[in-house]
Chain A
């Protein structure tokens, strides 16, 4: 089992461009979570998705950010019109059930976005 796969690992964008980050959950996992880690900060929850459904997007900025987890293919975190403050590491995690009572999420290696 290859674990949670994220790509690209590194992405550089200029201000105003769009960034798309992809996440394939572990085999057998149907729940996906996105976290963001700003420089010198801890990871912060953004959004929780199941196939074709957004369950909780309470941590997502209201504008420019969107996420999806289609029936086929990876989950995608999309950031439109990026600004320098979007520079961060974006981590995807997956779980078999809803986070399980043990809270064990399996994380990917992260995608590091740099906005010039």
Chain B
């Protein structure tokens, strides 16, 4: 069974501080991992995916298969980063990569 765990429901940091949103997963195969973000009054949108190894808005995430983690990091948080962040997983086999399993989300607040 696929499972995504985001242990922190709420995370609050000050502007300029480093931020790490944790995500652990459980999957028997080779997963694809994603971070989605939902800003206030906006729709859920893809932030980044592990296979592209890119940095978006200063955020990076590394897939650690040994620890089954995909933590989202940013060295210097900005107020506009305040949002709800969801970690998601899809199975990469059998063509069912539309079937995303989401974590419960972490609400990040960046204080001035």
Contacts and interface: CB of A to CB of B under 8 A. Distances in A.
Given A42-B4, A42-B86, A105 B100 contact: yes
B51 to A, nearest CB: 7
Given A42-B86, A104-B49, A108-B43, A98 B95 contact: yes
B43 A99 contact: no
Contacts of A43: 44, 86, 88, 100, 102
A35 B66 CA distance: 30
B26 interface: no
B100 A45 contact: yes
A42 B43 contact: no
Interface residues of B, number: 27
A16 to B, nearest CB: 30
B98 A44 contact: no
A40 B43 contact: no
Interface of B: 4, 32, 34, 36, 42-46, 49, 51-52, 86, 88, 90, 92, 95-105
A22 interface: no
Minimum-distance CB pairs A-B, first 10:
A99-B98, A42-B102, A107-B44, A43-B102, A109-B43, A42-B104, A45-B99, A99-B97, A103-B90, A103-B97
Classify chain A: how many residues form its interface, as a range.
20 to 34
Interface in A63-101: 91, 95, 98-101
Contact of B43 (A4, A33, A44, A102): A4
A102 B99 contact: no
A56 B99 contact: yes
B85 to A, nearest CB: 11
A99 B95 CA distance: 9
Contacts of A59: 99
Contact of A56 (B49, B96, B102): B96
Given A98-B95, A99-B90, A107 B43 contact: yes
Contact of A42 (B42, B45, B103): B103
A105 B36 CA distance: 10
B104 A41 contact: yes
A65 to B, nearest CB: 17
